[in-house]
Structure 1
Amino acid sequence: MKRSSVKELLHSDKFLQEVHVKGWVRTFRSNRFIALNDGSTINNIQCVVDFENTDEELLKRITTSAAVSITGTLVESEGKGQNVEVKVTKLEILGDSNPDEYPIQPKKHSLEFLRENAHLRIRTNTFSAVMRVRSALSFGVHKYFQENGFNYVNTPIITGSDAEGAGEMFHVSNFETNKAPLNEEGNIDYTKDFFGKETNLTVSGQLEAETYAMALGKVYTFGPTFRAENSNTTRHLAEFWMIEPEVAFNDLDANMDLSEDFIKSVLGYVLENCKDDLEFLDNRLTQEEKSKPQAERSDMGLIEKLNFVAENNFKRVSYTEAFDILRNCKPNKKKKFQFPITEWGVDLQSEHERYLVEKHFKCPVILFDYPATIKAFYMRLNDDGKTVRAMDVLFPGIGEMVGGSQREERLDVLKSKMAELNIDEEELWWYLDTRKFGTAVHSGFGLGFERLVLFTTGMSNIRDVIPFPRTPQNAEF
């Protein structure tokens, strides 16, 4: 018999038909009622066992997380909170689960405890909901770009360049530990390494994507990136996924249009296709907010916050205008900001970004034309010589969600900026070539996928929105 999913059965009205379903036991009570889940939905289906005519030894094996196969009749439910249930006629244990050893019992567990059991935490309602939303977001990303004429490009994971110029990269080498050959200067001789030069795990696919945009027009990358930043915070991962579109002939205004349209489309897709999971996560967040001090509570629920971004036009504000607003605002004058706003040119922090979004403009904000000194070398220099055509998209509750820019297409200006920052032209000769042979205005942005999942699910720690987090001192599983 064809197996049905729990989701299909919960939405079925074909009563009195024989059905077949497989899944894992969430709870078993009164030796009669199995709450069964197969991962297709946040909701369980109740399966009613005729315990008087079921072998007692079999009943003892129906424990939390046991895998079972059930055949029975779909009937209208007599209980509250559900429309259908399965009247069991045949039950088979596919995989036992020892209740004395299984760590994820049907009770509230701390997120820290669940991180220690990351291989099993997906069996909880919270993490199954988060990962289904993550999957839908991923599909929504590809759907948007594919429907809008973008080509998907797989940029290298192993690279010889540091796109951000930050230097916080994981090294890739084939040398044996403590046996690397040295050159005449006493340094490691990378010419004898596997790739013949020093290589690292990538922090961004942007530079390579730019080269493809200059031939294919519209491209995007969506892949893993790595940063060896020793930060044990709720916002940092050593391994994460980045979404990076690059578009030839787009200036900064078109780049801002693209980022806003993209975000609204992806969030709209999730709002439409993950209603049950989002309702669960919304209720979860509401309960979490109640435990916080009044001053720290969010003014919006999760779904309300998603609609706030999806339905509002993004306010576009220059860095200079935002600086003036922040410098003269009450929190700054009363020294409530952890990082006071004093001189033009400071890098804005999350508290400043959230103030602009949540308190001042009360809508998503795109800041643009940042000071050149706090932005990357590849961003186009404005005529004032002080600012670059950079942009950041700011969200409520999280601050910066997207960072991007119009790229510097002028070879002489780009080379000058690289010289100022001591970036070796020989290492990026191929990147400079794109400014020699048919250069053109082009733009792009980067969006950390886990940060988007964090916002969409209402989770508070980025380690809880990726299946197996990689952080300092942690590469378990």
Structure 2
Amino acid sequence: MNKISILDIYKQNNHLNKLITINGWIRNNRFSKIGISFLTVSDGSSTSTIQVIAKKILCNYFTEIVKLTIGCSVLISGHLKLSKGNLQIYEIYALHIKVLGWINNPDIYPMSAKQHSIEYIRSYCHLRPRTNLIGVISRIRNTVFQSLNQFLNNFGYLWVSTPIITSIDTEGSGSMFRVSMLDDNNVNSKINYIRKNNEFFKKKVFLTVSGQLTLESYACALSKVYSFGPTFRAENSNTKKHLTEFWMLEVEKSFSDINDISVFAEQLLKNSVADVLNNCMSELLFLQKKIDNTIIHRLNKFLEINFIHVEYTEIIDILLKNKNIFDEDILWGKDLSSKQEKYLVNNHFKSSVIIQNYPKKLKAFYMRVNDDNNTVAAFDVIIPQVGEIIGGSEREDRIDYLDYRMQEIGLNNKNYDWYKDLRRYGTVPHAGFGLGLERLVLFITGINNIREVIPFPRTVGHADF
């Protein structure tokens, strides 16, 4: 017997008129007085469902089939036929239906058939993948993840797993989560532990905000590398674009500069969007109907228009000429606001923008200082709807400049001695960038809140599951 997915049924036509088996969950159960049930079944493989026709001749029709409610899991065997109705293409005429799992108390099942708000289903993160919306987002997220890995692999980048537990602050901002095994509920135990052992690692350690510094050590030996994993920011920010735990793609390339790496970043973004357009059309059509009626046009336009490269100083001049639009101060040396970013990409340039050469006080210590000694060779990629999606730079490969920058912001040089070794022993020009996976999925899907594009969101005040 041929066991297949619903996706297989719609992608191939060689199963027609054959005996097949599917697994799935009930989405709807309509039954007639003449003894026929019409089951709508989903298995999560696509946006499509399949209608199953179950007749009263089945041995468990009256004892089980008519009692099936939304969410029950089933195994169904039967003949795949072209549908006689207009609402679906295929139907399965059931020969056997086995109920694998019932819904306890169907009346209070959280994912019932009625319309639920996004905020409501977010409170049931363990059940929300059963909704069409989260299923669609999950499949797109998977496509984006695979696309990014494949693109980098095709260009010869090696994947490196960088530490999640770290003793260094990559960004120099101090917004990190401390890692400890101490029992805060047992004061005596805590005091004794500190006296005897001081720390598990003999030093303070944190959850990483970035694997970039350790990744650089591999770039300075293997030339082209990347890491892809969770990172953590202990910022007290509760906006629709921020998470405290999120997935970051970090790319490092030796013998590279800001122009080279920023062009590569644009290529990588566009490749992922193209892969979604090529492989997730049914998901995009669902989102076009439910979330963003311009989504397909918007993504195609994103691919067609070249990103505009512009200097930070020029950006400030543009904003000053249009300062009447903004209710905030516009100053050289100040970071751009979300409102200013939206104006630049949506109104002024009508394109995604790569802003280069920021004031050094706005950026991290490891970014290469330019000849003017006021700016660093850094860039941000700003795209519609999301704003900043990529941040990158040339890395400072001159040890004296690196020392000065670390002293300038008050970092403990001793903690970064190994990092300075990369400049002592065969230093090379190198550059890289970081891309937030969730922000890319946010842009592609048109979803309004970043909490919907990660399975179990961690935000200020929320770390459930």
How would you bin the TM-score normalised by the shorter chain?
A: over 0.9
Picking from 131, 134, 144, the partner of 2:141 is 134
Structure 1 position 464, deviation (Å): 0.7
Picking from 204, 223, 242, the partner of 1:217 is 223
Contact in 2 for aligned 1:351/1:399 (Cα 8 Å):
no
Q: Is 2:426 the counterpart of 1:426?
A: no
Match for residue 108 of structure 1?
A: 115
Match for residue 443 of structure 1?
A: 431
Specify the SS of the correspondent of 1:68: strand
Letter in 2 for 1:306: L
Structure 1 position 197, deviation (Å): 0.4
| Matches of 2:281 and 2:393, distance apart in 1 | 34
| Matches of 2:292 and 2:198, distance apart in 1 | 57
Match for residue 24 of structure 1?
A: 25
Structure 1 position 189, deviation (Å): 7.3
Q: Does 27-36 or 140-149 show the bigger shift? A: 27-36
Letter in 1 for 2:11: H
Q: Is 2:462 the counterpart of 1:461?
A: no
| Matches of 1:61 and 1:152, distance apart in 2 | 50
Contact in 2 for aligned 1:263/1:310 (Cα 8 Å):
no
Match for residue 170 of structure 2?
A: 163
Picking from 306, 315, 326, the partner of 2:308 is 315
Q: Does 5-14 or 22-31 show the bigger shift? A: 5-14
Compared with structure 1, are the counterparts of its residues 303 and 417 closer, same or farther at alpha carbon in structure 2 (3 Å cutoff)? Answer: same
Deviation by residue 1:3-58 (Cα, 9 ceiling, x = unmatched): 11011112343432111111001111235211111111011011112246563122
Q: Is 2:50 the counterpart of 1:45?
A: yes
Spell out the pairing of 1:353-368 with structure 2 (5 A cutoff).
353-368=341-356
Specify the SS of the correspondent of 2:435: strand
Specify the SS of the correspondent of 1:468: coil
Q: Is 2:289 the counterpart of 1:283?
A: yes
Picking from 65, 86, 93, the partner of 1:59 is 65
Match for residue 150 of structure 2?
A: 143
Divergent runs of 4+, >6 A: 188-191
Letter in 2 for 1:125: N
Match for residue 7 of structure 2?
A: 7
Structure 1 position 355, deviation (Å): 1.0
Picking from 404, 419, 423, the partner of 1:416 is 404
Q: Is 2:76 the counterpart of 1:70?
A: yes
Picking from 336, 340, 360, the partner of 2:329 is 340
Q: Is 2:367 the counterpart of 1:379?
A: yes
Q: Does 264-273 or 30-39 show the bigger shift? A: 30-39
Gaps of 5+ in 1: 288-300
Compared with structure 1, are the counterparts of its residues 104 and 338 closer, same or farther at alpha carbon in structure 2 (3 Å cutoff)? Answer: farther
Specify the SS of the correspondent of 1:42: coil
Deviation by residue 1:377-404 (Cα, 9 ceiling, x = unmatched): 1111111111110100011111111000
| Matches of 1:370 and 1:247, distance apart in 2 | 21
Contact in 1 for aligned 2:2/2:19 (Cα 8 Å):
no
| Matches of 2:409 and 2:197, distance apart in 1 | 25
| Matches of 1:169 and 1:190, distance apart in 2 | 26
Identity %: 43
| Matches of 1:191 and 1:393, distance apart in 2 | 45
Specify the SS of the correspondent of 2:299: helix
Match for residue 293 of structure 1?
A: none
Structure 1 position 191, deviation (Å): 6.6
Specify the SS of the correspondent of 1:240: strand
| Matches of 2:460 and 2:259, distance apart in 1 | 38
Specify the SS of the correspondent of 2:393: strand
Structure 1 position 368, deviation (Å): 0.3
Specify the SS of the correspondent of 1:286: coil
Q: Is 2:228 the counterpart of 1:240?
A: no
Specify the SS of the correspondent of 1:56: coil
Picking from 306, 319, 323, the partner of 1:326 is 319
How many pairs does the alignment contain? 455
CA root-mean-square deviation: 1.7
Structure 1 position 432, deviation (Å): 0.7
Contact in 1 for aligned 2:160/2:225 (Cα 8 Å):
yes
| Matches of 1:126 and 1:79, distance apart in 2 | 26
